[in-house]
Each structure stands twice: as structure tokens, then as C-alpha cells.
Chain A
Amino acid sequence: MRAPTSTIAPQDILGKVPTGISGLDEITRGGLPYGRPTLICGSAGCGKTIFGLEFLVNGIQEYNEPGIFLAFEETAGDLAKNVSSLGFDLRTLEETNKLIVDFVHIDRSQIAVAGAYDLEGLFIRLQSSVDAIGAKRVVVDTLETIFSGFDNPGLLRDEIRRLFRWFKERELTVIITAERGEGRLTRQGLEEYVSDCVIILDHRVIDQLSTRRLRVVKYRGSVHGTNEYPFLIDDHGISVLPLSALGLNHEVSDVRISSGVAELDEMLEGKGYYRGSTILVSGGAGSGKTSLSCILADATCRSGNRCLYFAFEESPAQIKRNMRSIGLNLEQWLDKGILQFHASRPSLHGLEMHLVQIMRLIGEFQPDLVILDPISNLISMGSAAEINSILVRLIDHLKTLQITTFFGNLTSDAASEATEIGISSLIDTWLLVRNIESGGERNRGLYVLKSRGMAHSNQIREFQLTDNGVHLQKVYLGPGGVLAGSQRLTQESKEKASALLLDQEINSQQMQLDRKRKAMEARVAVLQAELMAEEEELKRHILIKKAEQKQVSKDRSDMGQRRQGGADANFQAESKERPDHA
């Protein structure tokens, strides 16, 4: 027996061996039981072999634990070929003495039985392989095949029991795969022998869409997630979605990020969205959801952050082309590698598969912003309750990672506020784009239905897509509701016209006043002139009269002098004192 490995735990605590399969180690709180066999059962094509191989390959590459793959079903060559698409290079691992793939060929037609036997050969084989590379992990795929090769079930059961004991004695962590049987976990009842850990893989097709699920049925001596977890097999191997372990204790951010539209930021306290918040934009067909998504993506990339865009409706090329028409150049961000598109048809696989894939890509790309456009297409894939639970888990996951999430949601206008998926409670900022139909036109009206933690605008703005981006115009409230589009323009020009009219009126009145004043002034001038003329006249008259008076008095004194000689001096004085006597 070899020395205990680094993964061994103190005697009484159950040690665990990480599988390196993303998500599974979270569900099992650390991995498979150390030094014990684990049973993986499932029907054909559910991923048992890949599960086992990934356990071994990860063990070698990540934990430096060599492994043995005992294949009863596929030859080493077939196996290597089949899993090369997953990025597993079995040949290299074998050449470097980290892995032994031992194909056990059992062909009953070639075997005759003549007397008592046992399976000691298998044990010798295993022992020799374990010794050769110092294996710590073993996968037996699929053990039950021996029941078709030998016809002594009693003996086989004894030998299987002995094999499990043998594994435990050598503290090998083992995966045994088995076919699902009718009414029980495995065809031959292997679960009776494996008492430590049993995992079921399931591959079911609902509405013509396949979903893979994994469930830990039993894990003696350990807490484990008991739900059915969806998992995905793609070119990166297996990813399990460990969703429900998350709670509502994520951190929140006070940092604000621009929506990319100045007027929209203005509606959100002039600052935009919160980072790490969940934003939903819902609206009818052609209401500009994708444009809003792309503008946010553009703004995010412009500030140097990373954006991951899941498109469920359009191909990336089409989005790029369409966005050029509103003046967005997304190409530059794609070239820089800070924007990544991931387009797939929702019907490609089930909802859960999509989400597993989304989670995996998020893990790989480490974005600051995730856009899902539109989620309504995913919604068509399952029941409301299913979607709700999945989205809750996705949003929680993204919030924990402080990733801003932007969902587009296609709604029929009538039901736009009802959120058929019932995710409104998960949404922090909810924008609604409405088609406003009036005056023979359809125009878009955008408003902020809710936005947690900020004093947002309550206005409906007209949402315009132009050659140089998106603009939000204030709309007019008329008797028939809000006015938008050409009605708004009409209203605007009407207002302009009336303002002009008013201006003109004021001007003319001003002029009239001026004129009046001038007229009045002219009249005053005439009167004054008349007055002056009269004054002159009168003065002249006075002077004439005075002169006449003088002449009269002079004449009189002359006459007196002539009459009285020198005695008229007093008279002269007298007449000067009383000129009126003249």
C-alpha cells in the first residue's frame, strides 16, 4: 500500500477529492469521497464516460494525481479520438506516464467456460497499472459489462465486492459507471455495493429539446446539494450549474455607469445606472431594445470595460451592420477583444443548457457587463416557474460577481408592464419602450418604470434613433395623450409660429407707441411754436403800445411846454408819476 496522498484528511473527517469539473465540486462541497468508489449511473449517452475522463484528466493536470481508465466499452484508440474534441489529449498523458487507458476486451463468443475461475487477472492488471504510474484515481467504465462476458452472476457479485474492497484498501478514489436499470439505479444493482456516493446523470428531452441533469443521490458523511442540476457537455467538457447555493448577500456598488445616452442618464439622476445592477428594457417589436443594448455596450467598452453580448435573435454580423446605421462602430471593440458576441438560437438547446453556457462564458471572459438580448426568446423554452427560478439564479450569480446585467425583453404592448416571467422583482432599473400610435404614425416613447435607489424621472420621452445615435426628446402632452413624432413637430412649429406672432405684435405695438409719442411730440412742438409766435406778437404789440404811450406823453409835455414856458416843470414831473393819465 502506498503512502497517503496530500488530499487525505485526518482519520475521522471524510476527505474529498476535487473533480475539477466546474460546478460539481461546489455541489459536493469539495469533490468525491477520498479513497472510495463513487457510482455514476445514467442511461446511454448521458455523459458517464466523459465525466469519468474529465475526472482523470483534471486530476492529472490540476492536482497531479495520475489515473487509470479501465474501459470495458471502447478501445483506447476510440476513446482518445472521441474525447479529443473536448480538448483531452489522452495520448500525451499516456506517454508521460500520467494516465493508463486499459481496454478490457470481453467477447463472450470467444470464451468457453470449463470449471471454476475467478477474476484475479483483473486485479493483477489493475495493480500493475497502479504501480506503474502511482495512480490515485481510477475510472471503471462500465463495470457491468462483465455480466455479459461471464455467466456466473454469483461469482461476479463476489468479485465486484472484492474489487470495491480492494480499491478502498489502496485508498484509490474510484468512479464506477453503470447503465441505468429498469426501476433501479443500475441494471445489476451495483448501488448495493457502493455505499458512499451515488450520482445520477440524466439526459431527457422535453419539447424536442434536450437537457442534461445531474443529481447527487447519496453522499454518505457529507452535506451536498440535493437538487437536480443542469449540466452541459461542450468543447470544454462538463459544466454543472450550481445555482441554488447563492443567497442575497452580495455587495452593492455606488459607482454609476453611463447608459450611453446623455438624455437617459439625465433621467436617471444625471448619472446613469448603478454598476452591478440589473437593467431590463422591455418593449414591443422594433422598439429599439437592441439599439439601447448596443449603445450601453459601446459606452462600456469606451470606458475600457469588458462586455459580453448574448444575442438570441440576430447574428453578430447583422448587429454590427445595423448598429453602423445609428453611428455605432462596434468593430473596434471586437478587435480590441473587450467586446464579445455569443450568438445562438434559443432552440439550439434547452433553457438550462443556455444558462450553463452563459455562466461558463461569463467565467471565462470576466465581463463587466453582460447583455442578454432578448430574454423573451429564452422564455419560450420552458414553463414560467422554471424560467423564473433559472433567472433568479442567474441574476444572483451576476450580482455576486458585480456584473451589470442588461436584459432585453420583447413584450406585446398590452402586457408590457405585466412581465409575464414575473422577474420584475429581480430588476433594479426597468426601462419601458412603448410604441405610441397616433396621427397615423408609430413613435417610440421611453420611460423609467422603476429604478431602485435613485430619484429617476417620471417623464415619457420620445426615443429617436438617428444617424448619430439615440436621442430622447421631451414629448408634448396634448388632449389625446402624449404627442410624438410629426405631431410633436407640428406642435413645435405651432408654438414657434405663435411665438413669432406674439413677437410681431409686440413689435408693432411698440412702434405704434413710438409713433404716437412722436405725433404727440410734434403736436407739442407746434403748440409751442404757436405760443412762441403769439408771445412774439404780443410782445411786439406791447412795445408798439409803449412806444405810442411814450409818444403821447411826449407830445403832451411838448404841448405843455409850449403853453406854460418854465412853469411846466412840475407838470412834467407830475405826468411822469402818473403816465396812465395820458
Chain B
Amino acid sequence: MRDSAAEGPLDAEPGQPQEKFILRLYIAGQTPRSLTALANLRKICEEHLPGRYELEVVDLIMHPKRARTDQIMAIPTLVRSLPTPIARIIGDLSDSEQVLLGLNIQRKAVG
């Protein structure tokens, strides 16, 4: 599963470099919580990072070894490998405030 959006600085703010986000979401099977997390993530990305994110969804049921190699404990886990430093957000991403804080994304519009 890979969603790529077209590149392009859509809502660049002064002094904020337009970086590309590489995100990976780890889930364990198509559980309601996993689906919720995926939906929440898509929504946030489309809203705040349109066209400049890459999202990979890793289902650990299909790739159990990656749980170890990628240091996954909690499900769901969202990993931002770019921009550095690596950030991890766990949970079904229903708290979009925390997700934005965790990914270090500036709000598009305040209010």
C-alpha cells in the first residue's frame, strides 16, 4: 500500500522548508483499530501534507519479522523516518493534535 501525492509547495510558509515526509504505519491485521488509524492518518496527511508525503503501511501479520527489525511494540505505530529525527507516534491517531505535534507539522490554518 503506497500513497504518493504529487510534489509541490502548496502551502509553504516563510522560513519553513518544504520537506518530504516519509511515513510508515504498522498495523496487525485489518482490525477496526488499524483501519481507524489508517483513515485518521490519511485524513491528516491530505489536510496538512498534500503532495509531499509517502506512506507505507506494514501489516505485521504478513511480515512478523519486521516487528523485531523495526522495533515495534505498540500497535498501531506510526514512524516518521523523514524528516529526521525519527519520530514515533502510537495509537489509532484519533488525537490529531498529538499527531501533528508528534510529526512536527505546522498547522495549516489557525482558527
Distance in angstroms from B87 CB to nearest chain A CB is 7
Q: Report if B51 contacts A (CB, 8 A).
A: no
Asked if A124 and B33 make an inter-chain contact with CB atoms under 8 angstroms apart, the answer reads no
Which bucket holds chain A's interface residue count? Answer: 20 to 34
Q: A304 vs B68: C-alpha distance in the bound complex, in angstroms? A: 57
Q: A116 vs B92: C-alpha distance in the bound complex, in angstroms? A: 5
Q: A121 vs B65: C-alpha distance in the bound complex, in angstroms? A: 10
Asked if A113 and B68 make an inter-chain contact with CB atoms under 8 angstroms apart, the answer reads no
Q: Which residues of A contact B22 (CB under 8 A)?
A: none
Asked if A112 and B87 make an inter-chain contact with CB atoms under 8 angstroms apart, the answer reads yes
Q: Which residues of B contact A113 (CB under 8 A)?
A: 89-91, 95, 98
Counting residue pairs across A and B whose Cβ atoms lie within 8 Å, the total is 103
Q: Which of A111, A112, A114 has the most chain B CB atoms inside 10 A of its CB?
A: A114
Asked if A110 and B67 make an inter-chain contact with CB atoms under 8 angstroms apart, the answer reads no
Q: Report if A161 contacts B (CB, 8 A).
A: no
Asked if B73 and A114 make an inter-chain contact with CB atoms under 8 angstroms apart, the answer reads no
Query: Using a Cβ–Cβ cut-off of 8 Å, how many residues does chain B contribute to the interface with A?
Result: 36
Q: Report if B5 contacts A (CB, 8 A).
A: no
Q: A111 vs B99: C-alpha distance in the bound complex, in angstroms? A: 11
Q: Report if A546 contacts B (CB, 8 A).
A: no
Distance in angstroms from A128 CB to nearest chain B CB is 4
Q: A118 vs B29: C-alpha distance in the bound complex, in angstroms? A: 13
Q: A117 vs B78: C-alpha distance in the bound complex, in angstroms? A: 11
Distance in angstroms from B36 CB to nearest chain A CB is 8
Q: A114 vs B87: C-alpha distance in the bound complex, in angstroms? A: 13
Q: A149 vs B74: C-alpha distance in the bound complex, in angstroms? A: 10
Asked if A125 and B95 make an inter-chain contact with CB atoms under 8 angstroms apart, the answer reads no
Q: Which of A101-109, A269-277, A421-429, A534-542 makes up part of the contact surface?
A: A101-109
Q: A130 vs B64: C-alpha distance in the bound complex, in angstroms? A: 11
Q: A120 vs B74: C-alpha distance in the bound complex, in angstroms? A: 6
Asked if B28 and A114 make an inter-chain contact with CB atoms under 8 angstroms apart, the answer reads no
- A125 and B64 contact, Cβ closer than 8 Å, known pairs A114-B91, A149-B73: yes
- The proximity string for A residues 306-342 relative to B, scoring 1 for CB distances below 8 Å and 0 otherwise, is 0000000000000000000000000000000000000
Distance in angstroms from A12 CB to nearest chain B CB is 35
Asked if A112 and B88 make an inter-chain contact with CB atoms under 8 angstroms apart, the answer reads yes
Q: A293 vs B74: C-alpha distance in the bound complex, in angstroms? A: 65
- The proximity string for B residues 39-70 relative to A, scoring 1 for CB distances below 8 Å and 0 otherwise, is 01000000000000000000011001101100
Asked if B64 and A112 make an inter-chain contact with CB atoms under 8 angstroms apart, the answer reads no
Q: Which residues of B contact A128 (CB under 8 A)?
A: 64-65, 67-68
Which residue from chain A places its CB closest to the CB of B72 in the assembled complex?
A121
CB contact list, B77-97 vs A, under 8 A? 77, 85-97
Q: Report if A405 contacts B (CB, 8 A).
A: no
Which residue from chain B places its CB closest to the CB of A115 in the assembled complex?
B91
CB contact list, A111-148 vs B, under 8 A? 111-122, 124-125, 127-129, 131, 146
Q: A125 vs B64: C-alpha distance in the bound complex, in angstroms? A: 6
Which residue from chain B places its CB closest to the CB of A102 in the assembled complex?
B68
- A112 and B101 contact, Cβ closer than 8 Å, known pairs A121-B73, A121-B75: yes
Q: Which residues of A contact B61 (CB under 8 A)?
A: 124
One of A114, A124, A131 near B60 (C-beta < 8 A): A124
Q: Which residues of B contact A219 (CB under 8 A)?
A: none
Q: Report if B71 contacts A (CB, 8 A).
A: yes
One of A114, A117, A149 near B75 (C-beta < 8 A): A117
Asked if A119 and B93 make an inter-chain contact with CB atoms under 8 angstroms apart, the answer reads no
Asked if A115 and B67 make an inter-chain contact with CB atoms under 8 angstroms apart, the answer reads no
One of B28, B65, B91, B92 near A120 (C-beta < 8 A): B28
Asked if B92 and A122 make an inter-chain contact with CB atoms under 8 angstroms apart, the answer reads no
Q: Report if A150 contacts B (CB, 8 A).
A: yes
Q: Which residues of A contact B102 (CB under 8 A)?
A: 112, 114
Asked if A118 and B89 make an inter-chain contact with CB atoms under 8 angstroms apart, the answer reads no
Asked if B64 and A114 make an inter-chain contact with CB atoms under 8 angstroms apart, the answer reads no
Asked if B94 and A127 make an inter-chain contact with CB atoms under 8 angstroms apart, the answer reads no
Q: Report if B37 contacts A (CB, 8 A).
A: yes
Q: Report if B26 contacts A (CB, 8 A).
A: yes
Q: A112 vs B105: C-alpha distance in the bound complex, in angstroms? A: 14
Q: Which residues of A contact B28 (CB under 8 A)?
A: 120-121, 124
- A129 and B68 contact, Cβ closer than 8 Å, known pairs A114-B98, A119-B75: yes
Distance in angstroms from A135 CB to nearest chain B CB is 13
Q: Which residues of B contact A115 (CB under 8 A)?
A: 36-37, 40, 91-95, 98
Distance in angstroms from A365 CB to nearest chain B CB is 44
Asked if A106 and B73 make an inter-chain contact with CB atoms under 8 angstroms apart, the answer reads yes
Can you spell out 12 A-B residue pairs with CB atoms less than 8 angstroms apart? A104-B73, A110-B85, A112-B89, A113-B89, A113-B90, A114-B91, A115-B93, A116-B33, A117-B75, A124-B60, A127-B64, A128-B65
Told that A115-B36, A116-B33 touch, could you supply 14 new A-B pairs with CB distance under 8 A? A104-B73, A112-B99, A112-B101, A114-B94, A115-B91, A115-B94, A117-B75, A118-B33, A119-B75, A121-B60, A124-B60, A127-B64, A129-B68, A146-B73
Task: Pick the 5 closest A-B CB pairs, nearest first.
Answer: A115-B91, A112-B102, A128-B64, A114-B98, A121-B72
